[in-house]
Amino acid sequence: MADDDSFLWLEDVTGDAALDWVRARNAETLEEMTGSERFERLRTEIREVLDADDRIPYIRRRGEYFYNFWQDAGNPRGLWRRTTLDEYRKDRPNWEVLLDIDALAQRERENWVWQSASVLRPGYRLGLIELSRGGADATVVREFDLDRREFVEDGFQLPEAKSRVGWIDENLIYVGTDFGEGSLTTSGYPRVIKEWQRGTPLEKAVTVYEGKPEDVSAFGYHDSTPGFERDFVGSSPDFYRVEKFLRTPDGLVRIDVPEDAQTTVHREWLLIRTRSPWTVNEREYEAGTLLAAPFDGYLAGWRELTVLFEPDARTSLEDYAWTRNHLLLTTLSDVRTRLHVLTPGEGWRREPMPAGPELGVAEIVDTDPAESDEYLLSTSGFAEPPTLSYGQVGGPAEVLKQSPTRFDAEGTTVGQYFATSPDGTQIPYFVVRPKAAGGPTLLTGYGGFEVSRLPDYSGVLGRGWIARGGTYVLANIRGGGEYGPSWHTRAMKENRYLVYEDFAAVAKDLIDRGITTREKLGTHGGSNGGLLMGVMLTRYPELFGAIVCQVPLLDMRRYHLLLAGASWMAEYGDPDDPAQWEYIRKYSPYQNVHSGRDYPPTLFMTSTRDDRVHPGHARKMVAKMREQDYQVRYHENIEGGHGAAADNEQLAQKWALLFEFLWSQLSYAPTGTARR
């Protein structure tokens, strides 16, 4: 219970005592880890990757322009800019800079970090820009005139909050924010959605929808597709369920699908992706099936559904995106990407698309569903740097940009293996081995929230690890989305232990195959992956030579009371329910730190400005381990939000600390009980 927690004071994020403790731990870690020539080389080389001028500037179309947000050594906080397709094709495009975040931060004496911009269609002249202080999830919202390249005086503005905003027309927006007492959910997100008319005070905005206090969040948005203008509102009762309504002159009309199904509407079509089995007209559709129906007919009660994708034991739907006239599907078959084009009609014609490397990833990064059938496709692999291509459905793809190699991958091999979890489930994982084998191994994974981890390129990982002789391993454990919704739902709540058994099975398989040894096996993960690291530390310490735990959840007795934690109870369970706490307590890392164990050396990393996962998790875990005399390091970046870095300088420092710690522990440290 909290009453028994002697380190509760470390949850006071900006309290003097807590920050004094943070500064002392930071000083210890930086003194130990940053003085070597290797650390300086790591940081320098990683910064070179992050700031490289020849990186691909990924773009999104908005009207006639393609937009990009760019950070480099001269613009550490970044530039929001745009260009035309013809310009973008050039080696050195002419960019029109819309907003310089560094100049803005200096002028306003704020540590602004770019978050996003919502641009009004169809004119694309006005935008709602979201900026955060230090990289937090909470943002300020300010209206921006793209033609004048300046903020709109007396335009739409919101103070710092976890807001939701979106255009309806030039003079009207949807807004969900902190309107005062009772306007936020217990998770800290908007509960109330209003229409806000230009030129009126926020308190005069008109409520159009209210969720429940225990919901995760409410939402409202406008579909401006010509001829198909519609407005939707709704809320998420938990992380995986949604109640969505069409706003009509006669009131709200519920889109009658299971709450855990995902729905999208494009022109005349409604798409439904199931997360659990669903029976309609005496036919059962499996979890992970994608269905289509005419939107108006479905609302009128018509239930003749067309199956666009049906999963099998090895294949799942990863993503889908509309162009003007076609639907692009991204599927995974044993975590290998496949792309398909579907054309609506009586038969919904289906054709394959080129998808990049066999052991790699292909991603549709943008389409223009309102105007054209164009698409932007990014492909890469562990040892193959990204390529960005532009195409029109039905025609050849044009290579727009190719990234140079960021590390020497000659002789690097990529393989896929399967480990057997204790219940017999086969768990896939990728192994990237450098030409000179025999160095340490870095294993990572995530295992939560139906997030798939795919075999893509990382210049930072290549420079900091693979090119130096390290082997890299990516585990596709349950809890993720690599095999569809059931791969995730099988490992929720009382079955959470399967995530940890899967990851431990991969670690054991690496050792059994002779790919590495316990002494040379390190692991790292962040957020939910940080919880994974905490469980590996406390339940499977015999498997690892070192662990890096980033922005983690660790105190699962109190996670639902801290920041956005309540929104994740659908994933982990409710610790206030004795029956659910019974299975949570068995793995909760903070409650399972005990003296006299053979824990490997561990580095914890977090951020003061993380307003998603509370920094108190990592602080308290370190304090408890230090009290029991374990070898543990800690670093807390003051800025950075949940990403633990606000700019490339901080990001390079974070990665260099991670790699330096692992190289020092796995290459030279003796085996045996790790003590301070």
Extract the tokens encoding 69.
């947000």
Residue identified by tokens 């990049």 is 356
Extract the tokens encoding 409.
């991958």
Q: Which of 527, 567, 588, 607 is catalytic?
A: 527
How far apart CA 316 and CA 361 sit, in angstroms, is 14
Q: Are 642 and 115 in contact (CB under 8 A)?
A: no
Burial of 663 from C-beta contacts in 10 A (0-12 / 13-18 / 19+): buried
Q: Which residues contact 442 (CB under 8 A, 6 or more apart)?
A: 465, 470, 471, 472, 473, 522, 523, 524, 662
Chain-centroid distance, C-alpha 91: 31
| Nearest partner of 68 among 47, 49, 96, judged by Cα | 96
Chain-centroid distance, C-alpha 278: 28
For 361, half-sphere exposure in the C-beta direction (CA atoms, 13 angstrom radius) is 21
Q: Which residues contact 351 (CB under 8 A, 6 or more apart)?
A: 340, 341, 343
Q: What's 438-498 look like in SS3?
A: CCCEEEECCCCCCCCCCCCCCHHHHHHCHHHCCEEEEECCCCCCCCCHHHHHCCCHHHCHH
Is 642 a residue of the active site? yes
Q: What is the DSSP string of 597-652?
A: --PPPEEEEEETT-SSS-THHHHHHHHHHHHTTB-EEEEEESS-GGGT-SSHHHHH
Q: Which of 488, 560, 635, 642 is catalytic?
A: 642
Bridge partner residues of 463 (DSSP): none
DSSP 577: S
Q: Which residues contact 287 (CB under 8 A, 6 or more apart)?
A: 274, 275, 276, 277, 311, 484, 485, 486, 489
Is 560 a residue of the active site? no
Which residues participate in catalysis according to the annotation? 527, 642
